[in-house]
Each structure stands twice: as structure tokens, then as C-alpha cells.
Amino acid sequence: MHYAAYYDAGDIVDIALKAGADPHKTNENGDTAFNFAAANSPSAGRRMTLQWYRNAQQGDGPGLNAPSGSHESRLIQYAAKWCNAETIKEMLETEFTIDGQPQRVDPFVANDSGWTPLHAAACMPGRAKVVKELARAYKLQPDYLFMRTTEPYTARYRSPKGEPVEVQYPADATAIDLIDCRLRQDTGLARSEKETLNQAKKFIRASQLQVRPDAAVQEMF
């Protein structure tokens, strides 16, 4: 399962999930298949995340808000990285009844590296609509629009030609800082990918200006 996730073998991941494979199972380093999928595997990552989501609604697996993997990320963080805006909107707006108790997906979380769902979505091309949904939700707790990571993180992406591209994300970075890091360092980005990253940055900045204009202006300089 780990290697299928790493190589984005979505069909194999599907087969493994249907056969009962557990994507939350850790290797000797504490990494799950989600951790192996982290940077380059949207198909495998999305399938595992949706399976987690379905299972959680049935009261199975880690649940809607429990952490999983070496960075203690949650369902909403992986969904922010891999699922579409409609799924994110459903997660944010729906109250589920699980084991007779009302439960909701909590977007106001950060993993062990201080990454929120907004951080997770922001630095991934093509996630502008997801960023917009999260930024809208974070107006209820504006600190999350300005939250900074607590640890540095090195992401190893693959260019469209299959070449490795390493991006160094620093500690003490906002979601906008992460976008700027990706734009500066990832030389394999297509023009359309750069456009979606810049669009995500505009959505975050607009939400910041609405809730804390002074702080937003200060972040710009």
C-alpha cells in the first residue's frame, strides 16, 4: 500500500482498499501510506482520503478528526490537499450522526509541524477553489488565516517530465509564504499551475483584508 501510494497507482490502491488494506498502518518510521503519497500522488491520495471519509461516517477507522501518520495530520488536511472544493464544502457544512452522536469535521487544526488545512492546500497547484472554501471558514477564527508553521519541511515533487524538484518550506511561514516558496523554487511548474497558486494567494489575502486589514497590510511588507 505504501509503495502504491508513493507511485500514485490509484487503481492498485483501490484494489488494496477493497481487499481490506489499512492506509493508516505505519512502517518502521511511523509513516502511513498517506505520508508516502504526500507530495506527488493526487489519485492515490484522493482515493485513500475518500475511503477514510466514508469509513468515518460509519464509525470506522480513526474518525473525522483523529490524527494519523508521522506528522499527526487529520482527514481535513489530506482532503484539503487532494479532494475537490465540493467535498471540502460538504465536510465543513455537514453535521454527521456517528454512533448516535452529532459530529462535525473540525477545520481549526494543525499537525505536528504547524500546518493547517489551509497550508496544505495553498502550496498545491490547482487548489484555489479549496483555498477559497477554507479561507471563508477561517473568517470565524481569523487567527487561522495568519497562522505560521512551526517546523521546516522539505517537499520532493516530480516535474511533468518526472524529474525531482525539491522545495524547502521554512518554519514560521504563513500559507502565502508557502505559496511564494513553491513559486520561487519549483522550476517545473507549468504556467497554468503558477496561475492557480497566485489565485489561491489572492483568495487568502482578500479574506485577511476583510477580517484584519491592518494585519493583512503588515504581512504584505
Global pTM? 0.94
pLDDT at 14: 93
Spatial distance between the Cα atoms of 5 and 38, rounded to a whole number of angstroms: 9
Q: What pLDDT sits at residue 180?
A: 97
CA distance 195 to 144: 24
Residue 150 has what pLDDT?
97
Q: What's residue 207's pLDDT?
A: 95
Cα-atom radius of gyration of the chain, to the nearest Å? 17
Residue 138 near residue 118 (C-beta atoms within 8 A): yes
Q: Are strands 164-169 and 153-158 parallel, antiparallel or unpaired?
A: antiparallel
What pLDDT score does 107 carry?
97
Count Cα atoms within 13 angstroms, Cβ side, for 31.
12
Fold adopted by 1-106? 1.25.40
CA 193 to chain centroid, in Å, comes to 17
59-78 residue pLDDT tens: 998 999 999 988 899 999 99
Counting as low any pLDDT under 70, the low residues of the chain are: 221
- pLDDT at residue 197 in the model: 98
Residue extents of the structural domains in the chain: 1-106, 108-221
The CA distances from residue 191 to 13, 112, 179, 186, in Å, are 30, 32, 14, 12
Residues in the chain, total:
221
pLDDT at 221: 62
Q: Which residue has the cell 475511503?
A: 51
Name the maximum alpha-carbon separation found in the chain.
53
pLDDT tens digit string along 175-219?
999 999 999 999 889 999 999 999 999 999 999 999 998 887 777
Q: In what helix (H) or strand (E) does residue 153 lie, and over which residues does it extend?
A: strand 153-158
